[in-house]
Structure 1
Amino acid sequence: MKTITAQREKIAALAKSANHLLAEKGDQTWSKEEQATFDGYTNEIDLTKGQIKAAEKMREIDADSFFNAAPAKKEDEHTIDAMSAVALYLRNGANVTHEQALAIRNAMSTTTAAEGGFTVPAEIATMVVEKMKAFGGMRDVATAMSTAGGNSMNWPTSDGTAEVGAIVGQNTVVNSADVTFGTISLNPFYYTSNQIALPLELIQDSAIDVVGFVVARLATRIARIQNTHFTVGAGTTLPDGVIPRAGVGKVGVSGQTLTATYDDLIDLIHSVNRAYRGAGRFMMNDFSLAVVRKLKDTTGRPIWNPGDMEGIAEGVPSTLCGYAYTINDDVPVMAANAKSIAFGDFSQYMIRDVAGTTTLRRFDDSNFALKNQVGFCGWTRSGGNLMEPAAVKVYTNSST
């Protein structure tokens, strides 16, 4: 089996060959054979990246197995660390000694939520946020902040891209140019993973990282629904999603219900003010990316530039028209009137997480016990909004 290093070198060589072909052809029209050669390079890059990810995943699994098999360090039950306390609670629930119960309460605080449970320590809350970053794309590019309280919040906004100064003579009164401010709500919402059922034997198995396992399952569910809302949420009873809040930068002409053109992407880029364009990137569904990657410029060259070692540490990411892109499958797929491609500075989208609201609860009632299962549920409070709508614009497919 090839090593990861060898696979990375293979990607570098393929990317070099693809870029050489692009440079060699210049303004010439591509032949079918040349296009097939280029597509072969890019497809092989994608397949090799998948092999690298699989190999890295197996390394993580092997490392976890090694450390789980190591002898556990004995500690005073009254002074166990936060991670050990959470693991004790998740494995045993209320079936612990009085001393262990005290240790759990010292590390975790009880909540007053309707479902009860424990507020998890900061270490676990951080794990939840990190797990949520792995899903959807919004948390990768947005700006996240944590607030101590969950009260309603109005965020001040001001778009100064059209404001200019002036020349004045000596002893001349300057004109008034007041700055216009607005406000945008940034309110949090309660999110829950809903209950999940896990086999009792799995939870009690000391070889299993019970904290990591349960947190991953709960955080994944919350991450998926939050990404949907941060992308297409309608506001009021949901967060305001980036797609509904963004302005329309380009509308496809008649017949472009399922596609876009190279010129459309250029127009979309330039619909965003240069103040935000410098940090601009594309965001679209993976199916839309497949459509865009096939687009050619006016000379027949693909506009997608396969990066050198895409996705590899210290590598150069692939670009569209010179800009990076984020795959977000909650962005609508191409269809009539669909806002299928977004471009701009997504750091202007603010995600608000309320500190101290990530809670966990274990369920041992008969609904689970009769099946030899344990139930778990998680909660957290988050919200989001695009602070400056001018920072992101969308491409809308034609209606017919």
Structure 2
Amino acid sequence: MPEINLAAPETKAPQTAQSVEADAALDRFAGMLESFREANDQRLSEIERRMSADPLTEEKVERIGRALDEQERRIERLVLKGMRPPLETGRGRAAEPSEHRSAFDAYVRAGDEQRLRRIEEKAMSGLVGADGGFLVPAETESEIGRRLSAISPIRSIAAVRTVSAAVLKKPFAITGAQTGWVGQADARPQTSAPQLAELSFPTMELYAMPAATNALLDDAAVDIDAWLGDEVEQAFAAQEGAAFINGDGVNKPKGFMTYPTVDESAWSWGSVGTVASGADSSFRAGGAADALIDLVYALKAGYRQNASFVMNRRTQGAVRKLKDGDGNYLWQAPVSAGGRASLMGFPVVEAEDMPDITAGSKAIAFGDFSRFYLVVDRQGVRVLRDPYSAKPYVLFYTTKRVGGGVQDFDAAKFLDFSA
């Protein structure tokens, strides 16, 4: 009698329309990348034969490169769209919302403040501030935070800490506790205590002001959490993304590009080490791979395990053309929708606010950003409903407090485009 296999057959999760579209977009991206590499190979061949490339070939490479950038951004948008939770209705509806969420929904839709005020009085939670407005429910705050982590490039790789105070103070050891080797019967000399210093990360107010029509607010099918997250995510992500890189620390986080830099050979705590590319405003001829290898190995092994390259799209476009000594491209396309491209085996994070390649610029950063940069979120997102300033629209003045700064100066290095 034949043996019957009672094991359940392997099943695959059904693909959504967004995932099918994202996969198709990734396939088109792979085809465009192959065309780009063929055109770039032709360009390099012309340079080897005639010391310069045909202008038509240069224009073709740039055109395909721009199309690749646009296709990559389209894939990212499709992946983000697929990550958003669908509206749930009928029997598939999620558990009943919390009292705070129900009260907040009534406030957003109709301006009913009484239920939120009763919750404040009952819980003594400080839902109302001196400047007016109410704290959003935890569900809405989590939704906004999740969306920011998905689309804010630096937040997605940095360490993120939520605090209830206005300033996070983090101690660190300037010199570790003294240690030494002793014999079994030898006297143990007293060791000195470590010298401690303190890093301070104040949080600053970030705001957005989405507008809605009364018709939208009256529509019971509209998920207020998802709508508010949609409206503020791009504004918050753009503002904090720029600050995490180039912020001066005045009413905004301090960006990692604004800290002092020094050649890696003379590095000391308080500054970020740099490695020279070998040529002003470019890579050294025939030595692009060497400069990137020097940058990678300027980082200690413990940091390299979780390291990423950070650069803007124009720098990534230049890096995409580079080859190693064996003719292999250093830049590799993502293998799945939502994945990251890689450079020399390390993921590439595209941050539009990074500097372009110019003489003396630090256009490429490489490091373990979860140990290098700290993002500090103060607990609570506040919304003030304003139906008067822009009639017939209703404005929602939405604020959150965010800080940031470098917490470990040895965890990342910059590539300095200089000789």
User: TM-score, length-normalised on structure 2?
Assistant: 0.71
Q: Is 1:155 paired with 2:179?
A: no
Residue 216 (str. 1) matches residue 201 (str. 2)? no
- Cα 1:133–1:99 change in 2 (3 A) is closer
Q: For the structure 1 residues 5 and 120, does the alpha-carbon distance in structure 2 shift closer, same or farther, using more than 3 Å as the test?
A: closer
Q: Contact 2:384–2:396 (CA<8 Å) still a contact in 1?
A: yes
Secondary structure of 1:359's counterpart equals strand
Structure 1 residues 1-400: aligned runs within 5 Å: 3-4=20-21, 7=24, 10=27, 63-64=86-87, 67=88, 70=90, 81-94=99-112, 102=118, 111=127, 113-157=129-173, 181-235=195-249, 237-245=251-259, 247-254=272-279, 256-258=280-282, 261-309=288-336, 311=338, 317-348=340-371, 349-355=373-379, 357-365=380-388, 367-368=389-390, 371-398=391-418
Separation of aligned partners in 1, 2:115 and 2:255 = 47
- Contact 1:310–1:318, Cα closer than 8 Å, also in 2: no
Does the Cα contact within 8 Å between 2:178 and 2:194 map onto a contact in 1? no
Deviates more, 1:260-269 or 1:277-286: 260-269
Change beyond 3 A, Cα 1:224–1:375: same
CA distance in 1, matches of 2:26, 2:168: 51
In structure 2, the CA distance between the partners of 1:105 and 1:15, relative to structure 1 (3 Å rule), is farther
The alignment partner of 1:134 has SS state of: helix
CA shift for structure 1 position 392: 0.6
Q: 1:123 to 1:203 in 2, by over 3 A?
A: same
Measured in 1, the distance between the counterparts of 2:103 and 2:224 equals 12
In structure 1, what is the Cα distance between the partners aligned to 2:104 and 2:25?
39
Question: Structure 2 CA distance, aligned partners of 1:264 and 1:390?
Answer: 19
Q: C-alpha distance in 2, partners of 1:132/1:62?
A: 15
How big is the shift at 1:336? 2.8
CA contact (8 A) 1:186 1:384 kept: no
| Other-structure match for 2:264 | none
SS in 1 for 2:290: helix
Give the direction of change, closer, same or farther, for the CA distance of 1:119–1:10 in structure 2 (3 Å limit).
closer
Q: Does the CA-based 8 Å contact 1:156-1:184 persist in structure 2?
A: yes
Distance 1:53 1:385, change over 3 A: closer
| Distance in structure 2 (CA, Å) of the matches to 1:398 and 1:9 | 36
Which runs of 5 or more residues in structure 1 are unaligned?
none
**SS class of match (1:295):** coil
Change beyond 3 A, Cα 1:205–1:382:
same
Percent of paired sites with the same residue = 23
- For residue 278 of structure 2, what is the amino acid of its counterpart? V
What is the rounded CA distance, in whole Å, between the counterparts of 2:135 and 2:353 in structure 1? Answer: 30
Q: Greater relative contact order (Cα 8 A, min sep 6): structure 1 or 2?
A: 1
